[in-house]
A and B are shown apart, each in its own frame.
Chain A
Amino acid sequence: GEEVAQTPKHLVRGEGQKAKLYCAPIKGHSYVFWYQQVLKNEFKFLISFQNENVFDETGMPKERFSAKCLPNSPCSLEIQATKLEDSAVYFCASSQGDEKLFFGSGTQLSVL
Chain B
Amino acid sequence: RKEVEQDPGPFNVPEGATVAFNCTYSNSASQSFFWYRQDCRKEPKLLMSVYSSGNEDGRFTAQLNRASQYISLLIRDSKLSDSATYLCVVILNTGNQFYFGTGTSLTVIP
Residues of A within 8 A of B (CB): 31, 33, 35, 37, 40-43, 45, 48, 50, 55-56, 89, 91, 93, 95, 97, 99-101, 103-106, 108
Contact = CB atoms under 8 A, between A and B. Distances in A.
Chain B, interface size category, equals 20 to 34
Contact of B102 (A35, A43, A48): A43
Interface of B: 8, 32, 34, 41-46, 85, 87, 89, 91, 95-103, 105
A3 to B, nearest CB: 10
Chain B CB count within 10 A is highest, among A37, A56, A89, A97, for A37
Contacts of B102: 40-43
B45 A97 contact: no
Nearest to A105: B43
Nearest to A103: B43
